[in-house]
A = this chain, B = another copy of it.
Amino acid sequence: MMNVQSVPSAARWQPTARQSTLKLETDERWSDFKEVLGLLRFDGKVHEMNDTTLFRRRRLKAGQSALCMGQPFDGLYVVRLGALKTSMTHVDGAEHVLAFPMKGDLLGFDGVCKNKYLSEVTALTDCDLIKIPAADLFSPGRGCNDIERMAYWAISREIVQEQSAYALSHSAKSEARVARFLRIQSERFNAMGYSPNRFTLPMTRRDIGNHLNVTLETVSRAFSALDNLGIIAVERREVRILSMDALRDFES
């Protein structure tokens, strides 16, 4: 088990030396249904425990693209390790950051409807994903399967997160948005089993700003302001939250 006080090692953004690139790519690894249920923190009922199914794992290096807009839908992915960024690119070329999926989050669910992915997913750190192939989800021959049910439960959860993120970008003041963003990040790290009071942000100021609909300078200024008030201590991407209550008060 990982030390709760420490920051997840893969969440540091410097891409490590490529000593073992080839080894990684040929090193096939698998995850079972139970592991996926655990990662997703699924709390529903499973009818017959399906321990025979194995899912292929997929590794990504920081900066690599996991999914691209327009690609045909071939399955869902669960993040096993690392941090990513989902975004949509407009016709005019402007990028919009939708979310920052991390351990236990689901990717690719926007591809079910039109049978192709509608957003881009980029790895911010080295990542380890578990793929749930489309074939396992929609096999018409099978009976009502637990995998499908689990997947849809997880999709519903992602909707809820997305709605919160949407609401996130609607506070009146920019500093309040940044404060709320930090609180939510803290809660997510906590849910993943890491420390909620000390963590390393995997994304740039620019990505945060894009996600919150403010400029990167505004994000930087908000961080500095919260630091000067003694609410947080921030040094580049290292964040410590000194007073969660003060941070929460700052949101309104």
Contact = CB atoms under 8 A, between A and B. Distances in A.
Interface string A84-118: 00001011101010100000000001111110001
A112 B213 contact: no
Interface of A: 45, 47, 88, 90-92, 94, 96, 98, 109-114, 118-119, 138, 140, 142-145, 148-149, 152-153, 155-160, 162-163, 165-167, 169-170, 210, 213, 251-252
A157 B239 CA distance: 37
A92 B252 contact: yes
B98 A153 contact: no
A47 B162 contact: no
B153 A113 contact: yes
4 A-B pairs with the lowest CB-CB distances in the bound complex, closest first:
A112-B156, A144-B144, A113-B156, A113-B157
A163 B97 CA distance: 10
A167 B96 contact: yes
Contact of A155 (B138, B142, B155, B163): B155
A110 B163 contact: yes
A250 to B, nearest CB: 12
A245 to B, nearest CB: 14
Contacts of A94: 252
B162 A162 contact: yes
A136 B61 CA distance: 43
B165 A112 contact: no
A160 B252 contact: no
B47 A112 contact: no
B163 A159 contact: no
A166 B113 contact: no
Given A94-B252, A148-B152, A155-B156, 7 more contacts: A96-B170, A110-B156, A110-B163, A112-B156, A118-B163, A152-B155, A169-B170
A21 to B, nearest CB: 33
14 contacts: A45-B140, A47-B140, A92-B251, A96-B167, A112-B156, A113-B153, A113-B159, A114-B160, A140-B144, A142-B144, A159-B159, A162-B166, A165-B166, A166-B169
Contacts of A252: 90-92, 94
